[in-house]
Amino acid sequence: MSKLEDIVSLCKRRGFIFPGSEVYGGMAGTWDFGPLGVMLKNKITAAWWQFWVEQRDDMYGVDAAILMNPRTWEASGHVATFADPLVECKHCHGRFRADKLGSDIPESITSEEFQKLGVKCPTCGQSDWSEIRKFNMMFQTHVGPVSDDTSIAYLRPETAQGIFTNFKNVVDTIYPDLPFGIAQQGKAFRNEISPRDFILRDRECSQMEIEYFVHPDTWQGIFEQLLAEQHRFLEEVIGLPKERIHDYEVPATDRAHYSQRTVDIEFDYPNGREELMGIAYRTDFDLMNIQRASGKNMSYRDKHTGESFIPHVIEPSIGVERLLLAVLSAAYTEDEIDGSPRIVLKLPAQLAPYRFCVSPLLKNKPELVEKARTVYQQLRQKYTNVTWDDSGNIGKRYRKQDEIGTPACVVIDFDTLEDDTVTVRDRDTAQQTRVKIAEL
Ligand code: GAP
């Protein structure tokens, strides 16, 4: 399997992902997407939107504000309980998430249980720990010109609440039949104690979430259907290898405060198996809390049966960065072509930043360049994501396109001028075939 450092290095070298605010020494847990990274990210988010929203009749989109009335986070339980177990090494004062200091340590571990484990500090090797304290992960800010207790607001730690607070707006404007879902993509912010593993655990990330509203009696069957659909999305649309994807039934002690069942879908990343996404049964927890806190009636009236009730919710939630890292990890390959080593990103064609690269065999032959430009323009009319490359020699261009995952390179040579055929070189096999321009 590929190493994470190799993926990080490729991402930097080829303009996929850079450390956030790098010129000022960086900012832990933040990453900037470069030209190639933005293209890959946009394709992943578009594929998700198409699969979950556009191709279904029971899904509606929203795009809610990131800043929300702070009562949102009181009602949702985040102010009281969205916290990680923080422990400090008394020797070197390093601070860590207690449950990340060993593979079998639950999030709910108490100070007493933790002390007994004799865990060593990863920085200084001592085993002298403070009490575990709960550290709330929401970023606070102030809204307006006065910074006091009355102006506190939070950067949203999940996109989900922007969906719940719009539940009634969607019902009252679209009149959907139950079951139906509301989907949202957007930024979420978490003051993670230890951001790590490149873009796996960030302080600023993007989520793609669905709140699927169901009759309380039907949640079990629908949970299984949505779980199966998630696998179909990951394997068939995104092209992740099935054998690296695993379901994990999260035990009650480790579930989020709102969930009565959670299945994490995990992925075998270069540094080990980690949560890629989760699907949770949130019951009527959120709508009920909004009803209590706002005094607004959150019930849904079934037009067919006349029954009124608060719907229950199943929530598939996935982080864009985690999905993107899974895609990169699955695609990153080192192999040999004609005895020389190369790095190649075997991205599925539908996700590759560029579908084709067009070049003249020789840059200093105007007749080849002119013909190549014509072919380039023709392809651009069919596909938006075609790139032009006439730098270096042809071998170097192939290596560069392999590293950014371009599935096919189209090369215009002297034969093209005679018979209107081009060489198409396949990224994965490096095989070259002659194809008529009209058939490209
Ligand atoms: N609304 C439910 C929710 O937010 P979560 O398990 O805390 O649940 C959902 O987060 C998904 O968001 C995770 O499975 C992961 O893909 C992504 N995610 C959460 N925290 C993240 C972080 N700090 N960095 C990157 N992705 C994160």
The SS3 assignment for 427 reads: coil
Q: How far is the CA of 318 from the centre of ligand 1 (A)?
A: 6
Q: What is the pLDDT of residues 408-423, one digit of tens each?
A: 999 999 999 999 999 9
Beta bridge pairs of residue 428: none
CA separation for the pair 302, 76 (Å, rounded): 26
Task: Select the CATH number that applies to the domain covering 4-66+155-329 from these four: 3.40.367.20, 3.30.930.10, 1.10.1660.10, 3.40.50.2300.
Answer: 3.30.930.10
Return d(Cα 251, Cα 305) in angstroms, integer: 36
pTM, full prediction: 0.94
Distance, CA of 348 to CA of 326 (rounded, Å): 13
Could you tell me which residues come within 8 angstroms of residue 396 by beta carbon, excluding any fewer than 6 positions away? none
User: Residues 299, 302, 308, 310: is their CA dihedral positive or negative?
Assistant: negative
Q: Mutation test of ligand 1: which of 322, 324, 325 has the most ligand atoms closer than 8 Å to its C-beta? A: 322
Q: Taking the CB of residue 93, how many other CB atoms lie within 10 A of it?
A: 11
What is the C-alpha separation between 157 and 135, in angstroms, rounded?
14
Q: Report the separation in Å between the CA atom of 412 and the middle of ligand 1, taken as the mean of its atom positions.
A: 47
Average pLDDT, the chain: 95
CA of 118 to the centre of ligand 1 (A): 30
Decide whether any atom of ligand 1 lies within 6 Å of the 99 Cβ: no
Strands of 261-269's sheet, edge to edge?
Answer: 59-61, 180-189, 204-214, 312-319, 272-283, 261-269, 245-249
Residue 149 has pLDDT above 90, yes or no: no
Residues sharing a CB contact under 8 Å with residue 331, sequence separation 6 or more, in sequence order = 345, 346, 347, 405
209 lines ligand 1 (CB under 6 A): yes
Please, what's the b/e burial string for 177-208 (b: 16 or more CB within 10 A of its CB; e: otherwise)? ebbbbbbbbbebbbbbbbbebbbbbbbbbbbb
Give the tens place of pLDDT for each residue, 175-218: 999 999 999 999 999 999 999 999 999 999 999 999 999 999 99
| Alpha-carbon dihedral 246, 62, 217, 229, rounded to 10 degrees | -30
202 lines ligand 1 (CB under 6 A): yes
Counting atoms of ligand 1 from 1, which one is nearest the CA of 275? 14
Q: Please report the atom of ligand 1 found closest to the CA of residue 159.
A: 1
CA 301 to chain centre: 35
Per-residue pLDDT band at 295 (split at 50, 70, 90): very high
317 lines ligand 1 (CB under 6 A): yes
**pLDDT tens digit string along 217-276?**
999 999 999 999 999 999 999 999 999 999 999 999 889 989 999 999 999 999 999 999
Convert the pLDDT of each residue in 325-364 to its tens digit. 999 999 999 999 888 999 999 999 999 999 999 999 999 9
pLDDT band, very low/low/confident/very high, at 1 (cuts 50, 70, 90):
low
Ligand 1 lined by 158 (C-beta under 6 Å): yes
Q: Cα(84) to centroid of ligand 1, in Å?
A: 13
278: Cβ below 6 Å to ligand 1?
A: yes
CATH architecture of 354-439: 3-Layer(aba) Sandwich (3.40)
Nearest CA to ligand 1 atom 20: 201
Ligand 1 atom with the smallest distance to the CA of 158 is 4
Asked whether the predicted pLDDT for residue 367 surpasses 90, the reply is: yes
Q: How far apart are CA 37 and CA 12, in angstroms?
A: 10
How high is the pLDDT of residue 187? 98
Condensed to tens digits (0 to 9), the pLDDT of residues 20-44 reads 999 999 999 999 999 999 999 999 9
DSSP string, 57-86: SSEEE----SB--THHHHHTTHHHH-EEEE
User: Residue 103: what pLDDT?
Assistant: 80
Pocket of ligand 1 contains residue 413 by CB under 6 Å:
no
pLDDT (average), residues 422-428: 97
Atom of ligand 1 nearest to the CA of 203: 23
Span from the CA of 360 to the centroid of ligand 1 (angstroms)? 46
Q: What is the mean pLDDT of residues 54-60?
A: 98
4-66+155-329 and 354-439: identical CATH topology = no
**Residues with Cβ < 8 Å from 323, sequence gap 6 or more?**
44, 238, 276, 277
Please give the structure tokens belonging to residue 379.
Answer: 């392809």
Judging by beta carbons within 10 Å of its beta carbon (0-12, 13-18, 19+), is residue 215 exposed, middle or buried?
middle
User: Is residue 306 pLDDT above 70, yes or no?
Assistant: yes
DSSP 213-269: EE-GGGHHHHHHHHHHHHHHIIIIIS---GGGEEEEE--GGGS-TT-SEEEEEEEEE
Question: How many angstroms separate the CA atoms of 172 and 169, rounded?
Answer: 5
Residue nearest ligand 1's atom 13 by CA: 277
pLDDT band, very low/low/confident/very high, at 107 (cuts 50, 70, 90): confident
Q: Using pLDDT thresholds of 50, 70 and 90, give the confidence band for residue 6.
A: very high
- Token code pair at residue 250: 């999260």
Distance CA(232)–CA(238), nearest Å, equals: 9
Which DSSP string corresponds to 349-407? TTTSS-SEEEEES-TT-HHHHHHHHHHHHHHHHH-S-EEE--SS-HHHHHHHHHHHT-S
Domain ranges of the chain: 4-66+155-329, 354-439
Pair of tokens at residue 289 = 């809390």
How far apart are alpha carbons 396 and 83 in whole angstroms?
Answer: 50
**Percentage of residues in the chain having pLDDT higher than 70:** 100
